[in-house]
Amino acid sequence: MLIVMLIISFGVFMLVSLLPGDAVYAMLGDTISQETYDMVYHELGLDQPLLLRYGNWMLGVLRGDFGTSYQFHMPVVDLLKTRVPITIFLSILATLIAMPLGVLFGVIAAVHRGKKIDTVITLTANACSCLPQFWIGIFLMYIFSVQLGWLPSFGFTWPWENFGQHILELIMPIICLSIDGIAGIARQTRSSMLESIRQDYVRTAWSKGLTERSVIYIHTLKNSMIPIVSLLGVRLSYMVGGSIFVESVFSIPGMGSLLVRAITSKDIPVVQACVLLTAFVTCAAYILTDLLYVLVDPRIKLTQKD
């Protein structure tokens, strides 16, 4: 993982060098004098060799210094401090909601395989994973904010500031963000359940005379959870990506909306910081997945001991 993070950070650092045009002009505009240009050029360290610049930049990043935003002329860290927690909060909450619901629907579909309820769940899940997230958001907004006037159409409040407001403002973004995950997890659970429902140990469980609930939820589901858990990290990374759209639709001041603004104005330090942070979150999620894996599948631990 450390190597992976190093490669990512080098790639992210190279973004600046790949940029057509000059970073100094991008920062200060075209109308600066030669002296200012030289001064800033030196200040940014652009006269040093590439690897040295990378080293310096990396040291800064490790100390929490992502440089100065071209657009807002303030440290990137200060910009991100209030925004990143919102994005991470949304992604984790949506994952936590999508997980049990998706598993539940998947189990229902698998148990009633071939019946009407299975068809309904499978078709809905297939359709939901094809719908553009931003469009779901606008659709919800049209129904619940414009037509019915029940929910506010934009904004974000932390729960400790105003709990009622927080819940109201969060309903639509979270539905919008988790629908895709619910659909995906439901599909996965269904096919994984169908796989393990055929196994011998399930037949043994039935013939021992165990109740239906115990056979399905303990013997089958526990074994079908392994592939689902293994994709949890990927899920979380999707959620972070999806959160960009949701933030943009519902005007939530998170990292995503900052990233969009930074890209339209070519504010590279902000882009670098955002990419690095999302990669870091995803890496953390992957590591967490590996740990969870051992919990769900004790065989992994045993083979390692042997």
Partner 1 sequence: MAKEKNYRYEGISRFFRAMFGRKIVIICTAIVLIIIVLAILAPVIAPYDPAATDYYHMSQKPSMEHLLGTDALGRDVLSRLLYGSQVSLIVGVIAVFVACVIGSLLGMCAAYFGGVVDVVIMRTNEALRCVPAVVLAMALVSVFGGGVRNIAIILGISTVPGYAQMMRAQVLSVVRRDYVTAARLQGNSSIRLLFKHILPNCLSPLIVMMTQQVGSTILSEAGLSFLGVGISVPTASWGTMVSEGKAVLLENPMLGLIPGFCIAVLVISLNTIGDGVRDALDPHLRGEI
The residue ranges that bind partner 1 (CB under 8 A) are: 3-5, 7-8, 11-12, 15, 18-20, 122, 126-127, 130-135, 138-139, 141-142, 146, 187, 190-191, 194, 237-238, 240-242, 244-245, 248-249, 259-260, 262-264, 266, 268, 271, 274-275, 278-279, 282-283, 286
Min CB(177)–partner 1 separation in Å: 13
Q: Which is nearer to partner 1, 122 or 223 (CB)?
A: 122
Min CB(238)–partner 1 separation in Å: 7
Q: Which is nearer to partner 1, 5 or 167 (CB)?
A: 5
Q: Which is nearer to partner 1, 139 or 210 (CB)?
A: 139
Q: Using H for helix, E for strand and C for coil, what is the string for the chain?
A: CHHHHHHHHHHHHHHHHHCCCCHHHHHHCCCCCHHHHHHHHHHCCCCCCHHHHHHHHHHHHHCCCCCECCCCCCEHHHHHHHHHHHHHHHHHHHHHHHHHHHHHHHHHHHHCCCCHHHHHHHHHHHHHCCCCHHHHHHHHHHHHHHHCCCCCCCCCCCCCCCHHHHHHHHHHHHHHHHHHHHHHHHHHHHHHHHHHHCCHHHHHHHHCCCCHHHHHHHHHHHHHHHHHHHCHHHHHHHHHHHHHHHHHHCCCCCHHHHHHHHHHCCCHHHHHHHHHHHHHHHHHHHHHHHHHHHHHCHHHHHHHHC
Q: Which is nearer to partner 1, 131 or 171 (CB)?
A: 131
Min CB(101)–partner 1 separation in Å: 19
Min CB(261)–partner 1 separation in Å: 9
Q: Which is nearer to partner 1, 4 or 218 (CB)?
A: 4
Min CB(229)–partner 1 separation in Å: 18
